[in-house]
Chains A and B, each alone.
Chain A
Amino acid sequence: MTIPGFILRNAFRNKRRLMLTLLSVTLSLFLFTMLQTALRELTQPAQTDESALRVVARHKVSLGNVLPVKHQSRIERIPGVHTCMKLTWFGGIYKDPKDFFPQFAVDADKITDIFSEAQFDPQEMAAFLKDRAACVVGIKTMDRFGWKIGDKITLQGTIWPCDPQLTIRAVYRGGIDETNLFFHHEYMDELCGKPSLCGTFWIRAENAEAIPGLIQRIDETFANTDAETKTETERAFVLEFVSMIGNVKVLIGSICSVIVFTMILVTASTMSMAIRERSREIAILKAIGYDGWQIFSLILAESFGLALTGGVLGCFGAWFGTWLMFQHVNIAAVSNGMFIKFEVTPHIVVSGMLIAVVLGLVSCLAPAYSSIRMSVVTGLKELD
């Protein structure tokens, strides 16, 4: 036998208790990992260099208010603006409400300029531009519904009173989100009869340095008009969109704290039970020559072993599990577009494992301390 063998033997002494504690640590850290991943996906949408050049102007009152189209030409004249594109959330239903994917009416000729990080096929885009009733669709949504170029689809308006019939003329790949559908704004204007309104303006700045001044100049331009704007970076805009589903960050953060706290309580009580019932054995070990630190190391190793095993199973389980699952499941579809990806990052796994390390330490400190301090004579009196 070796010292590690002795530690293992101690750990496996009460198998059922070990399994239950291990299960609770594993599940807690699994949940922690999943929630942190959800939080990250919701609050940190993928950002590319290109997206750092984009700002979004919307109605000052809320996202639900529309802007007059005549703002566009004034924005285009502001120094630092490279391109300004109308972008209106259409929010139509394709076949069934659960078939949700994001749809936008845009200035067709400006799409490639604004979403420059996405890859468009020039020939397909030429066909898209020629056909007023055409649309360009992200590869994920194409795959999800098994669409091909040339397919015709109908969107049933929910916000806008029209049902555009669209022909898929182009597909795009890459960019921040491969699930969107874009179609001609003029076509929507024509169908809905409201040519003077649009939802937002997406602006590409000439360079990143221009952005702060640009934001200020746009909002100043429309100050004291009947449609004041609020302009912000794309990232801030998306975050705001996310905050419409409640203060998720605080909510998820507090759930995580409760999980971690409960897990520490459960593990600490297991460890203290496990050590207390061994106090006589600890006294015997001391009598045959083990000193306090050696006994502390034995206990610490046992506690660490438990916590780290739970950590590995929970965090890496979540990592591998989500990876495996989303090979087969379209997360964007399942979550109605709330999550584009669901990626457990190394950063999250590391923070989960750090919590496991803290758990291993904290849960054994109190019982280990008291068993180290307990004199051999006191320990021997137990059970005697």
Chain B
Amino acid sequence: MNADPIVQIRDLTKLYRHGEIDVTALNCVSLDIAAGEFVALMGPSGSGKSTLLHIIAGVDRATSGQCIVQGTDVGTLNETELADWRNNHVGFVFQTFNLIPVLTAFENVELPLLLTSLSSSERRAHVEAALELVGLADRMRHLPRQLSGGQEQRVAIARALVTDPTLLVADEPTGNLDAHSAAEILALLQILNRTAGKTVILVTHDPKAAAYASRTLHLEKGELLNGSSQSSVVSSQ
């Protein structure tokens, strides 16, 4: 836990240019996240939560500033390197439509492994373990439309986990779920954080969801509110 922070963000700024006007989605954000933390990113709609998450996860690029994840400056990778990096280091969970509708739960979870050199029996073992972990071992052959919303999100979490990534990022994963399913998903993320030691970054605007996290950061108009955000590792100790 006292090792270097797994995510180091320095003066990160993201501008969107709309004709003559610049929209500042992120304004000089600096932040450290330690390995094993469960961080909730909160803030009103449009405050830049998703933008920050996307940059950390390597699907978007900052206008200026640095984002270093496990020693890699993500901004310096080209598109192909970045895709490969995501496959190895990031597990992604979105708000909705996470799964490929024509593939079964098993096959959806297997997708990121098709890019690796694992044999088909090794892949099977990983996929089954991941689905076991999210409690869906008995739903492997089901198509997404045969699953409930909560189950779909759990499959998405299994898919995010299956490559054993450094970071698990989730953008409002409970936004479309009923309270009960939402609680199950959040509890699952918490268990993964505590027992499997995954670093989790959760974007949410729901304080109840943020309560599952070990640290909560507040964004507003692209700026971090908590002064404590740069001093990492505080809450997990």
A residues sitting closer than 8 Å to B (CB atoms) are 1-3, 6, 9-10, 12-13, 280-281, 284-294, 375-377, 380, 383-384
Beta-carbon contact of B79 and A288 below 8 Å: no
Q: A291-B79, A376-B54 are in contact. Are A281 and B115 (CB under 8 A)?
A: no
Interchain CB contact under 8 A, A286 and B97:
no
* Contacting residues, chain A, for B102 (C-beta < 8 A): 9-10, 12-13
Q: How many A-B residue pairs have CB under 8 A?
A: 82
- B107 on the interface (CB 8 Å rule)? yes
Shortest Cβ distance from residue B89 to the other chain A in the assembled complex, whole angstroms: 9
Report chain A residues within 8 Å CB of B159: 288
* Given contact pairs A287-B86, A292-B83, A377-B60, a sample of 10 additional A-B residue pairs in the complex whose CB atoms are under 8 Å apart: A1-B114, A2-B114, A6-B107, A9-B102, A284-B98, A286-B59, A286-B83, A289-B83, A291-B83, A375-B59
Is B57 a contact partner of A287 (Cβ separation < 8 A)?
Answer: yes
Q: Does B80 contact A (CB under 8 A)?
A: yes
Q: Is the CB of A287 within 8 A of B92?
A: yes
- By beta carbon, the residue of chain B nearest A287 is B92
* B103 located at the interface, meaning its Cβ lies under 8 Å from any Cβ of chain A in the complex: yes
A293: chain B residues at CB < 8 Å are 80
Task: Tell me if B94 counts as interface (CB < 8 A to partner A).
Answer: yes
List of B residues within 8 angstroms of A294 by Cβ = 83, 115
**Does B88 count as interface, using CB distance less than 8 angstroms?**
yes
- Chain B 86-115 against A: per-residue CB contact (8 Å), 1 yes, 0 no? 111010101111101111001100111011
Complex alpha-carbon distance, A206 and B110, angstroms: 77
Bound-complex Cα distance A323 to B83 (A): 52
Tell whether, in the assembled complex, residue A288 and residue B59 are in contact, meaning their CB atoms are under 8 Å apart. Answer: no
Closest residue of chain A to B115 (Cβ to Cβ) is: A289
Whole-angstrom CA separation of A376 from B115 in the bound complex: 18
Can you give 21 contacting A-B residue pairs, CB < 8 Å?
A: A1-B110, A2-B120, A6-B111, A9-B107, A13-B102, A284-B97, A285-B100, A286-B86, A288-B87, A288-B92, A288-B111, A288-B112, A289-B84, A289-B115, A290-B83, A291-B82, A291-B83, A292-B83, A377-B59, A377-B60, A380-B94
On whether the beta carbons of B84 and A291 are closer than 8 Å, the reply is yes
B163 neighbours in A (Cβ, 8 Å) = 289
**Inter-subunit contact B100/A284 (CB<8 Å):** yes
Bound Cα distance from A286 to B80, whole angstroms = 10
Which B132-161 residues have a C-beta within 8 angstroms of A? 159-160
Interchain CB contact under 8 A, B84 and A284: no
B58 CB to closest chain A CB (Å) equals: 9
Residues of A within 8 A of B95 (CB): 384
Task: Give Cα distance in the complex from A289 to B84, angstroms.
Answer: 6
| Interchain CA distance A286-B107 in the complex, whole Å | 16
A377 to B59, CA, bound (A): 7
Bitwise, B156-171 to A at CB < 8 A (1) or not (0) is 0001100100000000
Q: How far is the CA of A377 from the CA of B86 in the complex (A)?
A: 14
> Which of B79, B86, B103, B115 touches A9 (beta carbons < 8 Å)?
B103
Specify which of A6, A13, A289, A383 is in contact with B112 (CB 8 Å cutoff): A289
- In this complex, the member of B54, B96, B114 whose beta carbon has the largest number of chain A beta carbons within 10 angstroms is B114
Instruction: Give the shortest distance, in Å, between B56 (CB) and chain A (any CB).
Output: 12
| Contact, CB under 8 Å: B103 / A1 | yes
B173 to chain A, nearest CB (A): 13
Q: Is the CB of B86 within 8 A of A289?
A: yes
Tell whether A375 pairs with B60 under 8 Å between CB atoms, given A2-B114, A289-B83.
Answer: yes
Picked from A1, A10, A290, the residue with its CB within 8 Å of the CB of B115 is: A290
- A9, A287, A292, A376: residue with the most chain B Cβ atoms closer than 10 Å: A287
Specify which of A12, A13, A281, A376 is in contact with B60 (CB 8 Å cutoff).
A376
Residue in contact with B103 in the complex, picked from A6, A286, A288, CB distance below 8 Å: A6
User: Does A285 lie within 8 Å of B111, measured CB to CB?
Assistant: yes
A289→B60 contact, CB < 8 A: no
Q: How far is the CA of A13 from the CA of B159 in the complex (A)?
A: 21
- The smallest beta-carbon distance between B126 and chain A, in angstroms, is 13
Q: Identify the closest chain A residue to B107 (Cβ).
A: A1
Nearest residue in B to A291 (C-beta to C-beta)?
A: B83
Given A2-B114, A6-B114, A376-B60; A289-B94 close (CB under 8 Å): no
**Closest residue of chain A to B89, judged by CB?**
A289
- Of the candidates B82, B83, B111, B114, the one having the most CB atoms from chain A within 10 angstroms of its own CB is B83
